[in-house]
Structure 1
Amino acid sequence: MLVKVLTGVFDPPPASPAVPGACLGPTALAALIAVPAAALNGIRRARRPAIEELRDL
């Protein structure tokens, strides 16, 4: 759909969207590392009693 919208903007129109693989690889790797890290941190924080969390503030 984006290619159809941008057809009038570009001359000649693109045949397909160009996605640089050099950007997608590191982005996917960062997501694969960040999601489990955030989940583990949430699990670890949930195990502590809430009163201890409040005292640490």
Structure 2
Amino acid sequence: MLVKVLTGVFDPPPASLAVPGGYLTLTACAATAAVLVAALNGVRRAAGRPAVEELRDL
């Protein structure tokens, strides 16, 4: 449907949609790495201090 709507905009119109696979893969890898770094940082901080001190900081 999107290709039909944009047919008048492009000359010549596209035959199909192009999916940027490399960009999507890079974005997913970067997001996964950011979540892992944040999780490991939290685990490292929690392991160094007793639970009572962590609760007091909240």
* TM-score when normalising by structure 1: 0.51
Unpaired runs of 5+ in structure 2? none
Greater C-alpha radius of gyration: 2
Match of 1:52 in 2: 57
* Matched-pair identity in %: 62
Q: What are the ranges of 5 or more consecutive residues in structure 1 without an aligned counterpart?
A: none
Instruction: Kindly state the Cα deviation for residue 29 of structure 1 after the two structures are TM-superposed.
Output: 0.7
What's 1:18 paired with?
A: 18
Q: Residue deviations 1:3-44, cap 9 Å, x none?
A: 222111012211111122331221111122234445x36787
CA separation in 2, counterparts of 1:27 and 1:52?
Answer: 34
TM-score between the two structures when normalised by the length of structure 2: 0.51
Runs of 4+ in 1 over 3 A off after TM superposition: 35-38, 41-45
The alignment status of 1:32 with 2:32, answered yes or no, reads yes
Q: How many residues are matched?
A: 50
Q: In the alignment, what sits opposite 2:8?
A: 8
